[in-house]
């Protein structure tokens, strides 16, 4: 008896669209998050970090997304976006 592969169902277009939309939404959320974090005064970020470890956790999450967070660069990019 010959070995045969099972039929692989075709992925519906609406599922692919949903996955693409989810990925785009995640990228947009990341951009908004970076923009918002860059807008916070340094003392607020330091306060959050010292009390909640929030910034450290956020940076870990961003690193998981392979995003290097440079606060000064994020501020500069935000200002450039606003100017354009």
Tens digit of pLDDT for each residue in 47-67? 766 665 565 666 677 677 666
User: In this predicted model, which residue has the larger pLDDT, 6 or 77?
Assistant: 77
Site of tokens 């599922």:
15
Contacts of 38 (CB under 8 A, 6+ apart): 71, 74, 75, 77, 78
Model's pTM, two decimal places?
0.37
Q: What's the mean pLDDT in 8-29?
A: 75
Residue 45, classed as helix, strand or coil, is helix
* Of 53-57, 69-73, 74-78, highest mean pLDDT: 74-78
How many Å separate Cα 23 from the centre of its chain?
Answer: 9
pLDDT for res 19: 76
**Euclidean distance between CA atoms 58 and 33, whole angstroms:** 9
User: Domain residue spans in the chain?
Assistant: 14-83
Cβ atoms of residues 53 and 13 within 8 Å: no
Grade residue 39 by pLDDT with cuts at 50, 70 and 90: confident
Cβ atoms of residues 44 and 7 within 8 Å: no
């Amino acid at each position: 008896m010959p070995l045969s592969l099972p039929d692989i169902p075709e992925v519906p277009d609406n599922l692919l669209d949903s996955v693409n939309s989810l990925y785009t939404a995640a990228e947009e959320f990341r951009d908004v998050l970076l923009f918002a974090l860059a807008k916070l005064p340094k003392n607020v970020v330091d306060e959050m970090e010292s009390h909640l470890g929030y910034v450290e956790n956020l940076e870990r999450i961003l690193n998981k997304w392979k995003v290097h967070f440079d606060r000064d660069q994020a501020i500069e990019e935000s200002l450039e976006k606003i100017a354009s």
